[in-house]
Amino acid sequence: MSPADLDIILNGLNFPTSPRTLVDRSDNDDSGVYKITDDIAIVQTIDFITPVVDDPYLYGQIAAVNSLSDIYAMGAKVDTALNIVAYDNCHLTKEMLHEILRGGIDKVREAGGVVLGGHTIEDIEMKYGLSVTGTVHPDKILRNNTIKPGDKIILTKPLGMGVITTSIKADEAPQSAIDKAVFHMSFLNKIASELAVEIGVNALTDVTGFGLLGHLYEMINKNTSVELDFNAVPFIEEAFELAEIGLFPGGSFRNERYYKPHVQIQNNSVVEHELMLMYDAQTSGGLLISVPKERANLLLDKLRLVGIEWAAIIAEVTDSSKNNIVVG
């Protein structure tokens, strides 16, 4: 669903709030935040997806990691989770559902959280995800639109998950692409978030349904623009060939229509299918971290030291009222 669709659906709805509400849907951030005490705020999010791979255990892992990511995008830690299951009992066995849940449970355990239960309904299409609650100090929430001029922006996972998962459904994805996409989609953003908090960063978000360019645009505030170096962006190599065929999910084309007016391409430096990879709707993508210039290389070194060797500095924040993304 595009931001334009959400605007129509939510227009005029008066959501209840309170002085303890620190972040809600009006902020267009990754999770809601509610203050409990002077030292504790709860961070809440919910997400679920249809199957993106054939293996039920791996699907469960990916869906869980995708749900947990919004907690990490706020600089918070995971505490509890509830399973959300829409079960297609015409095409899936109970043993398959068991494996989906086992995959999710293993990832919540890896995140340091607990699963308190959940809810299951029958549906014509399988869906699985989590409602997640985390905690953060009220004064240490990381937002998505607090970038500052001079910041460097780091991306912690390569792009290509959307076009690859669509190619899996079309039986067009090579096994090498599937293996790489599964690895990255099931990789928690936990350590990357913890390192960002440790180093001290200005803004944080994750790359999911709105694609790289969509989530980058959401980071821009009235005083900033972003200069993106296409050659610095990490990609899953096999995604380029699949992109040239045009095997993108529908959400990627909606992203292009919505965000294209805010993107400027310099000197035709990027061909069309490569540009589409940056609009590509991602499942369980990486974090976008806006970090002061003087700390950027230190954070990048720490990320790579713990095994996130694909992380890269991909952009710089500029002092500009144009509020756009320049791709060069």
Q: What CATH number should be reported for the domain holding residue 165?
A: 3.90.650.10
Task: Quote the pTM value.
Answer: 0.94
Show which of 136, 163, 187 is a domain's final residue.
136
Give the separation between CA 311 and CA 328, rounded to whole angstroms.
19
Whether the pLDDT of residue 170 is over 80: the answer is: yes
Statement to judge: residues 213 and 64 lie in one domain: no
Q: Are the C-beta atoms of 275 and 265 separated by less than 8 Å? A: yes
Both 167 and 120 in one domain: the answer is no
Helix (H) or strand (E) holding 275: helix 272-279
Supply the pLDDT for residue 6. Answer: 79
Distance CA 41, CA 43 (A): 7
Name the helix (H) or strand (E) containing 56.
helix 56-72
Residue bearing the bigger pLDDT, 127 or 27: 127
- Domain span at residue 266 reads 152-327
In a domain, 146, yes or no: no
Examine the fold and report which residue of 109, 136, 163 is the final residue of a domain before the chain moves on: 136
Shared-domain flag, residues 240 and 92? no
Answer yes or no: are the C-beta atoms of 11 and 23 closer than 8 Å.
no
Q: What average pLDDT does the segment 37-56 reach?
A: 97
Average pLDDT on 208-223 reads 95
Average pLDDT, rounded, for the chain = 95
Examine the pLDDT at 1 and tell me if it is beyond 90: no
CB 327: neighbour CB atoms within 10 A?
A: 22
Domain of residue 105, CATH code? 3.30.1330.10
**Residue 54 resides in a domain:** yes
CA-to-CA dists, residue 177 to 108, 168, 239, 314, angstroms: 26, 9, 7, 23
Let me know if residue 236 belongs to a domain.
yes
Closest to 42 measured CA to CA, from 110, 111, 141, 119? 141
| Torsion, Cα of 81, 82, 88, 89 (10° steps) | 120
Burial 154-174 (b: 16+ CB within 10 A, else e): bbbbbbbbbbbbbbbeeeebe
pLDDT score for 173: 94
Contact 53, 43 (CB under 8 A): no
pLDDT above 90 for 203: yes
Whether 157 contacts 310, CB under 8 Å:
yes
pLDDT band for position 12 (cuts 50, 70, 90): confident
For residue 13, the Cα-to-chain-centroid distance in whole angstroms is 26
| pLDDT at residue 236 in the model | 97
The pLDDT tens digits of the residues spanning 140-153 come to 999 999 999 999 99
Examine residue 2 and state whether it is found in any structural domain, yes or no. no
67 found inside a domain: yes
| pLDDT tops 80 at residue 199 | yes
Nearest in space to 40 (alpha carbons), one of 141, 111, 142, 143: 141
pLDDT recorded at residue 321 = 87
Residue 81 lies in a domain: yes
- Whether 130 and 264 map to the same domain: the answer is no
Cβ atoms of 31 and 44 closer than 8 Å:
yes
Same domain, yes or no: 206 and 322? yes
Query: Do 121 and 181 have their domain in common?
Result: no
User: Looking at the structure, do residues 213 and 106 belong to the same domain, yes or no?
Assistant: no
pLDDT at 214 over 80: yes
Q: Is 200 exposed, middle or buried (0-12, 13-18, 19+ CB in 10 A)?
A: exposed
Q: Are residues 131 and 156 in the same domain?
A: no
93-116 pLDDT, tens digit each = 999 999 999 999 999 999 999 999
Higher pLDDT, 302 or 3: 302
273 pLDDT above the threshold of 80: yes
Domain count, the chain: 2
pLDDT grade for 270, boundaries at 50, 70 and 90: confident
- Does residue 145 belong to any structural domain of this protein? no
**Structure confidence at residue 26 (pLDDT):** 80
pLDDT value for 30: 83
**Position 89 pLDDT exceeds 90:** no
Alpha-carbon distance of 59 to 65, in angstroms, equals 10
State residue 48 phi and psi, 5-degree precision: -150, 155
62 and 190 part of one domain = no
- Using one digit for the tens of pLDDT, what is the confidence trace for 235-264? 999 999 999 999 999 999 999 999 999 999
Instruction: Clarify whether residues 197 and 263 are in a common domain.
Output: yes
Residue where one domain finishes, among candidates 84, 104, 136: 136
CB 232 within 8 A of CB 313: yes
Residue 103 and residue 23 in one domain: yes
Q: Is 36 exposed, middle or buried (0-12, 13-18, 19+ CB in 10 A)?
A: exposed
Could you tell me if 196 and 300 lie in one domain?
yes
Is there a domain that residue 176 lies in?
yes
**269 has pLDDT over 80:** no
Instruction: Place 25 in a pLDDT band, splitting at 50, 70 and 90.
Output: confident
> At residue 267, does pLDDT exceed 80?
no
